[in-house]
Amino acid sequence: EIVMTQSPASLSVSPGERATLSCRVSQSISSNLAWYQQKPGQAPRLLIYGASIRATGIPARFSGSGSGTEFTLTISSLQSEDVAVYYCHQYNNWHTFGQGTKVEIK
Amino acid sequence: QLQLQESGPGLVKPSETLSLICTVSGGSISSSSYFWGWIRQPPGKGLEWIGSIYSSGTTYYKPSLKSRVTISVDMSKKQISLKLSSVTAADTAVYYCARLVDKRLDYWGQGNLVTVSS
């Protein structure tokens, strides 16, 4: 099974500052990676797919990059509504999720 | 706007079978472009893939759950069902159904918490 490792486990960022989240994969998955945002008590929401393509309706401050085994989700200017847990998901070989990164406001 | 809604018992006894239904509204369930999946999330923990089904009925299950899982689809009712047998406390989780487009999960239900306890 492909193992996904997200770092850091939690991140505290001041409003308007940049947040950078990492997802490392145990074997190459090309660009078959998605990112989801999950707010407390809610279902996950698709943010990014194909490693760098924003889903419909997702603000431009969210961007994804990477390929192979190293991926990054960047929130360019953190807003209060971005407080959530963020998960990466590989769909190249079956489906596995990272353990999540919790983003908080400093 | 596509909507998915999970329904089923919130409490299941150990060794029994967990049964959930996902009802799809506002869109087609039979399109050849989509798969439908089940994902679960134990309280306070991360996401775990359970399995998926194509409109043709072809299913794919997580290997470690395969012996206990059955996913099926009823096109006429626009429903996808999940059955998980011989449950234990480790199966306590919020269960989500979701639509897959090119393997990414673009629409999710709100989730159904299932607790396994006697």
Mean pLDDT of all residues in B77-95: 97
Best residue in B2, B3, B69, B105 for a mutation probing chain A (most A CBs within 10 Å)? B105
How much is the pLDDT for B56? 83
How much is the pLDDT for B29? 87
How much is the pLDDT for B28? 86
How much is the pLDDT for B30? 82
Whether residues B103 and A43 touch (CB distance < 8 A) is answered with no
Question: Which of B16, B11, B23, B45 shows the shortest CA–CA distance to B99?
Answer: B23
A16-27 residue pLDDT tens: 999 999 999 999
Whether residues B46 and A42 touch (CB distance < 8 A) is answered with no
With bands split at pLDDT 50, 70 and 90, how would you rate the model's confidence at B3? very high
How much is the pLDDT for B57? 86
Task: Give the DSSP H or E segment for A68.
Answer: none
Mean pLDDT of all residues in B73-90: 96
Question: Would you say residue B33 has pLDDT above 90?
Answer: no
CB count in 10 Å sphere of residue B65: 16
Residue numbers in B near A95 (CB within 8 A):
37, 49, 52, 103
Mean pLDDT of all residues in B47-75: 94
With bands split at pLDDT 50, 70 and 90, how would you rate the model's confidence at B31? confident
How much is the pLDDT for B32? 79
Buried (b) or exposed (e) across A16-28, using 16+ Cβ within 10 A?
Answer: eeebebbbebeee
Is A49 touching B (CB cutoff 8 A)? yes
A27-72 residue pLDDT tens: 999 999 999 999 999 999 999 999 999 999 999 999 999 999 999 9
Determine the longest span between alpha carbons in chain A, in angstroms.
Answer: 38
Tokens of A12: 């505290």
Whether residues A36 and B106 touch (CB distance < 8 A) is answered with no
